Structure 1
Amino acid sequence: MQRLADILDGISLMTASIIRWLALMMVLVQFAIVVGRYVFGVNSIAVQESVLYMHATLFMLGAAYTLLVDQHVRVDVFYAKATDTTRRRIDIFGHVVLLIPSMLVLLYWSWPSVRNSWKILEGPISVGGIEAVFLLKSLIPAFCILLVLQSLSLLIRLLLPGTSASKADA
């Protein structure tokens, strides 16, 4: 089971190592947009939309890695002062009752829209924009699948005796 958890963690680590460069690319493109518009008077809707696409990709595909390294948003009302055993129980509850079911519901309800978008190769958001909304919508099922896989990895670690659930604990 430990090996399976390591493989699932590897998916998040590999995804993060690839998409982290989008943050730098996004800043550079945004800088070029500002310089182009205010210095040279040049503007492109497609280039502006590319920042939206990069931001969405960074957020949606980076969420599983964020969960892996325990940097996700957590409501610390009870968690902060809880014992390790109570924290483990809260985490197990969160994965089994909240995270995994909500991702499966989101995947189920978003799939028809994603499928239809691919079927018609849905065009740009704005006139003159990137003609690939179907790719943007594909981030939704990818987000759900990556989070479910990472959640299963953390759940395996939480249920195995003597293991740490997150890479941040290691």
Structure 2
Amino acid sequence: MNAIAAAIRIISGINIAVGRVFAWLSLGIVVVCFTVVVQRYVFSVSYLWMQDLYIWLNGAMFTAVAGFALQRDDHVRVDIFYRPASLRWKAMIDLVGVCVFLLPFVIVVFVYALPFVERSWGLREGSSNVGGMPGLFVLKSFVLVFAVLVGLQGVAMALRSILVLGGRQDLLPVRLRYEGAAHVPGEDPA
């Protein structure tokens, strides 16, 4: 059980680190978008590569932080039944959801995206806009990053569910527990 808890910590730590780094792209998106608008409407100048840039930053950020959002439970969920449920019921719902829906989904995304990304890398694909940014193949690679990070976090969710169903949620730090879980006396809440 300690190995399961360690795996959950490692996977969640990876997604937390990636999420915190790539969340900063939101600031870059705002700055680039603001610059494009000012250039266009104040100076009557437009650079296609800058228009590509804020769209590409947006795509990279949202695909890279998806696992982080899943780890934080920020995804849309119908909470009418889930929120008031017991910890064991939440664990069962998550385990079934991950195994039946999430993991098959990310496997399909990865399998179908891989040839698409490989072809893009082989062509060193750039923007379809004349004067646009080079390196579209790097952005397309984020589809695979998305599948891997969300898939890993799904595995961590399933493992967390197994710990809860086995009565060993106490092995997890408080931040990785189910919402509403009791605090274990003498334990560091971080």
TM-score bracket relative to the smaller structure: over 0.9
Give distance in 2, aligned partners of 1:130 and 1:15: 24
Query: Which AA in structure 1 matches 2:17?
Result: M
Give distance in 2, aligned partners of 1:110 and 1:28: 30
Normalization by structure 2: what TM-score? 0.83
Give distance in 2, aligned partners of 1:112 and 1:167: 37
Q: 2:85 aligns with which of 74, 82, 87?
A: 82
Q: What is the Cα-based RMSD across aligned positions, in Å?
A: 1.7
Give distance in 1, aligned partners of 2:176 and 2:103: 17
The alpha-carbon deviation at position 124 of structure 1 amounts to 1.0
Give distance in 2, aligned partners of 1:92 and 1:101: 13
Alignment of structure 1 residues 8-27 onto 2, 5 Å:
8-27=11-30
Contact 1:122 1:132 in 2 (8 A): yes
How many residues are aligned here? Answer: 170
Contact 2:87 2:178 in 1 (8 A): no
Query: Which AA in structure 2 matches 1:2?
Result: A
Query: Which AA in structure 1 matches 2:14?
Result: I
Percent identity of equivalent pairs: 32
- More displaced, 26-35 or 125-134? 125-134
Larger Rg: 2
Aligned in 2, Cα 1:111/1:8: closer, same or farther, shift over 3 Å?
A: same
Give distance in 1, aligned partners of 2:105 and 2:125: 26
* Equivalent in the alignment of 1:33: 36
The alpha-carbon deviation at position 75 of structure 1 amounts to 2.4
Give distance in 2, aligned partners of 1:58 and 1:157: 26
* Equivalent in the alignment of 1:162: 168
SS in 2 for 1:131: coil
* Equivalent in the alignment of 1:138: 141
Q: 2:115 aligns with which of 98, 108, 112?
A: 112
* Equivalent in the alignment of 1:151: 154
SS in 2 for 1:143: helix
Normalization by structure 1: what TM-score? 0.93
Query: Which AA in structure 2 matches 1:20?
Result: A
Give distance in 2, aligned partners of 1:166 and 1:126: 44
